[in-house]
Every structure is written in structure tokens, then in C-alpha cells.
Amino acid sequence: MSEASTPSAADSSPSSSHRELTAAQRNAVAELLRVSPVADELGRRFARAGHELHLVGGSVRDALLGRLGDDLDFCTDAHPDQTLRIIKGWAESIWETGREFGTIGAQRDGLRLEITTFRAEAYDQVSRNPVVEYGTNLADDLKRRDFTVNAMAVSLPDHRFTDPYGGLADLAARLIRTPGTPRESFGDDPLRMLRAARFAAQLRFAVHPDVREAMEKMATDLDRITAERIRDEFTKLLCGADPITGLRLLVDTGLADRFLPELSGLKLEIDEHAQHKDVYEHTLTVVSNAVSLEEDGPDFVLRMSALMHDVGKPATKAVGPDGRVSFHHHEVVGARLTKQRMKAMRYPKDVTAQVVGLVGLHLRFYGYGRGEWTDSAVRRYVTDAGDLLPRLHKLTRSDCTTRNRRKAAALAADYDALEQRIARIAAEEDLARVRPDLDGNAIMELLGVPPGPIVGRAWKHLKDVRLERGPLDRDEAEAELLRWARAEGLVD
């Protein structure tokens, strides 16, 4: 692709916006040159068959941002059956999972291609899923798209650039705006309101005031969208580069109240007689802290745990005779509320269990600095956390948001000491595989019992002893088992 074929800026003045547009052009050249052998070849195949093909949506946007990946989105006037005939024998693999929406998927030279028939997609204002009708031209297809930065196209194979709604200028201004009026756009697909917040989090873009106003007025329309679609958008938002901006937008526009009311509920009233930390602001800080501790990209489980760790506080808030505020057992209540909310949002059971586990454990560390923890308590901390321990370390550290530097330093030092102690005991006792010192077979042989509940009870007792006292040798373990069995009336 030559630079002359890429978008040109309308304003030739040496302004910041013009410089950003020029940079976007250069990004597009570099990114599209990389994929053009496959894209142009595909375009020629469609042209020979008498059909149009255009690179569209997020692919054009990301190319202009210099972050185009290996997933390319195309639109065409060809219907799915026609698309299949065109790519058959050329694509290395083909899938039809999106066929009901007019989309055919293919792979070629390491690139994943999604080719969608021009669409005129709208809601009937009652149903919870989009009604898809095929369109007839590129202009109408671009008009129905969510935002101007996603309503640009590069035609193939001639590389003609189409930008009818000023998406390039909005991209340079880092602005989220709709091609038509926000009310029309959100009326067609209310999920776009949530998507606006997601793009604010992912791309660090600002939301146009008209878009924001429509989000506030139409927030209740989100109730027409299925939990699964909301879940997927919210997950992308939370895993964005700047989730805090997206989360604030959800709360400020009232969108959060439609599917995650616990977040808005953290805005507890603070008065001069019952001072306590602003739980909402504290929570956003904890999320931000957790993001900073990630090592291998976005960790949804960690971020969601940080977001939900204090949702039990509103229900457990109490003011004592001295005016001090307490939230006793808010981690227990929070774990229950988290499970209920994630179930309602249709998160997988294993993901929900991990987040719930972290919320329930996040307070366990406090009190360690008072010197009350025995080695047994450390073993239980590690065993209860299990595979969640690395995330629990990060969540606990993230939860320290005090502005008192001395207190913050003391908490950090305490947790450093706990991690060192865990490492020492783990090296000595292999905490990752804490098991009773006798297995089930040994228990049955020593007690002379068959498989059944007695073996399970004995196994649990020996594990508790193992956690309390550390490893036992064979003789000690057998003696402990017999002592327990006599106390239970199982042996003489």
C-alpha cells in the first residue's frame, strides 16, 4: 500500500491535530503493508467474482493507531454462500459459526479473517438480541456502526479510503462519537453504551458530551441486553489499559446500576460523626494498584477480586457508641454477594470460584503484624489460598491504600515478612502439597476399616494435625491416628 492511497488530512496547518493525523497515516501504511499481501489477494478474488471487499471497523482503527493484530475484519456485498465459494480452496481453514449474522471466518498465512455481508442491524425495541438484515452498500453499513472511529473503510484491492463521519479526526482527537445521533445509535443496540465505556478504558479515549448525555438518559435500555453480552463487554472494559476511567463512566452514567449495582453501592455516606474511608474511591485505588502488580498482561480474576473485595461493607456497616465505624465480617458477606453477582452475569463457575475465594480471603493477613501468627496459621493461610496464593499476595498488597506513610511502610514490611516466612516453611515442608502423613490405604490398614466416611474423617484429622504441628514421622503419625480413633470409640 502506498502512502498516497492512505487517508489525507483536510487541514494542512501545522497544528497538533494535523501532526496526529499524519502520524496515523504513517501507522496505517506500516500496518497495512504487513497484511496487504493476503488482504489484496482476497480483494482481487472478490473483484473477479463481481463483488466488493472492504477492510473495516476495528481493523482500520487499529491500523491507524499502529496496533493492528492478526485478526482482520472485512465487509462485502457478497452473501455468505457466495463468500464461501470465493474463498474455498484459497483459505487454509474456514468456519461458519457466525453465519447466522452473515459472517464467514477464514485463516490464511497466520491471519484470521472475518468476512461479513453488508448489514442493516437493529433492535425491535423489545427483543434482547439484534435482528440482522443484509444491506446493499458500504455507506449504509458504515452508518450503522457504533462509533465514528469504527466507521472507516479501506477498499480492496485499490486501497480507497472511506471516512464519511470524520472518524480519522476523532481518532486524532481521541474522541468517542457516534456516526448518527447517540439516541438513534443506542436505540438500535443499547450495548453500545457499555461499549463506549469499554473503549474509554481500552483506548484511553474521551466520550463526547452528547454520547455521555445519551448514556445517562438511556441507561435503563441496557436491560434489553442479555447477561452474556453485557458480561463480555464488561470483561473487556475491566481488562482495558485504563479500567478506572471506564468504571467511573459506568457509575456516573447509571449504567453500573443496571448490571453491577454493588459498585455504585460502595458510595457510602460519610459524615462528621462517623468518619471512614471513602469505600468507592478506595476500591478504584485497589483496582489501580492491582493492575500495577500484574506481570503477564491483564488478569481478570485479580482485577475483579480487587473490584469486589469490599462490596460487603454497605451491608455490614455499623457505628459504635464511640462513633467509630466498623464492617465486621464484610469479607464473608462480600464473598456471598460476589458469587451471586457473577452468577447473574453468567461467568463460568471456575472463574467465579476464584474471585469469590480471593474476596473471602482478602482480610486474613491483617493481624499478622501483631505477632499472633504461629507456623500453623501460616500453613493454613497457604493451604486455604491454594493456587490463589500469588494473586492473594497481590490483592492484599493492593488493599493497602493508607496515606499514612509510616503505616503503609509497616504493612508492606509485615507482608514482606509473611512472604519470607511462607518461603521458609514451604522450603522445609513443601507446603504446595500438604497432605496427611498417612494416606487412605495406610489408615484403612491400621484401623482395620473399609473405604467410607471413617477414612475421610481420619484423613481430615491427620491433615489438621499436619497443619498444626508440621510433618510427622511414620511412628508419630500412626500414634496420632490411634489416639484419635480411641477418642472416637473406633478402637479399644
The parent domain of residue 6 ranges over 1-173
Is the residue at 394 inside a domain? yes
Is the residue at 119 inside a domain? yes
Q: Are residues 13 and 132 in the same domain?
A: yes
Q: Are residues 397 and 333 in the same domain?
A: yes
Of 27, 169, 64, 79, give the one whose Cα is nearest residue 55.
64
Cα separation of 410 and 407, whole Å?
A: 5
Confidence at residue 210, expressed as pLDDT on a 0 to 100 scale: 97
Q: Are residues 10 and 81 in the same domain?
A: yes
Residue that terminates a domain, selected from 173, 203, 220: 173
Is the residue at 220 inside a domain? no
Tens digits of pLDDT across the chain (492 residues)? 433 344 433 333 445 555 665 666 677 766 777 788 999 999 999 999 999 999 999 999 998 888 888 999 999 999 999 999 999 999 999 999 999 889 999 999 999 999 999 987 555 555 545 566 888 899 999 998 999 999 999 999 988 899 999 999 999 999 999 999 999 999 989 999 999 999 999 999 999 999 999 999 999 999 999 999 999 999 999 999 999 999 999 999 999 999 999 999 998 755 444 455 689 999 999 999 999 999 989 999 999 999 999 999 988 888 778 767 778 789 899 999 999 999 999 999 999 999 999 999 998 887 665 666 777 788 888 888 888 999 999 999 999 887 778 888 887 888 888 888 888 877 765 554 555 567 778 888 888 888 888 888 887 888 777 777 777 778 888 888 888 888 888 876
Handedness of CA 209, 9, 34, 155 (dihedral sign): positive
Cα separation of 403 and 295, whole Å?
A: 25
Is the residue at 449 inside a domain? yes
pTM of the model: 0.78
Cα separation of 236 and 229, whole Å?
A: 11
Q: Are residues 90 and 70 in the same domain?
A: yes
Q: Are residues 367 and 284 in the same domain?
A: yes
Q: Are residues 338 and 472 in the same domain?
A: no
Confidence at residue 368, expressed as pLDDT on a 0 to 100 scale: 62
CATH number at residue 55: 3.30.460.10
Confidence at residue 15, expressed as pLDDT on a 0 to 100 scale: 52
C-alpha distance from residue 453 to each of 242, 295, 440, 456 (Å): 51, 43, 11, 5
Residue that terminates a domain, selected from 173, 189, 209: 173
In this structure, the dihedral spanned by the alpha carbons of residues 134, 136, 142 and 144, taken in order and rounded to 10 degrees, is -40
Amino acid (1-letter code) at residue 30: A
Confidence at residue 9, expressed as pLDDT on a 0 to 100 scale: 35
Is the residue at 158 inside a domain? yes
Confidence at residue 188, expressed as pLDDT on a 0 to 100 scale: 87
Query: Number of structural domains, the chain?
Result: 3
Residue that terminates a domain, selected from 148, 173, 198: 173
Is the residue at 345 inside a domain? yes
Q: Are residues 280 and 401 in the same domain?
A: yes
Cα separation of 378 and 415, whole Å?
A: 12
**Around Cβ 235, how many Cβ atoms within 10 Å?**
18
Confidence at residue 8, expressed as pLDDT on a 0 to 100 scale: 38
Confidence at residue 324, expressed as pLDDT on a 0 to 100 scale: 78
Q: Are residues 54 and 141 in the same domain?
A: yes
Q: Are residues 282 and 370 in the same domain?
A: yes
User: Beta 161-162 vs 175-176: how paired, if at all?
Assistant: unpaired
Contact 175, 161 (CB under 8 A): no
Q: What residues does 56 pair with on adjacent strands?
A: 153
Cα separation of 355 and 359, whole Å?
A: 6
Chain Cα centroid distance, residue 401: 22
Is the residue at 400 inside a domain? yes
Q: Are residues 426 and 446 in the same domain?
A: no
- The CA R_g of the chain, rounded to the nearest whole Å, is 29
Q: Are residues 298 and 428 in the same domain?
A: yes
Q: Are residues 10 and 67 in the same domain?
A: yes
364 Cβ contact list (under 8 Å, min separation 6): 381, 384
Confidence at residue 131, expressed as pLDDT on a 0 to 100 scale: 63
Is the residue at 419 inside a domain? yes
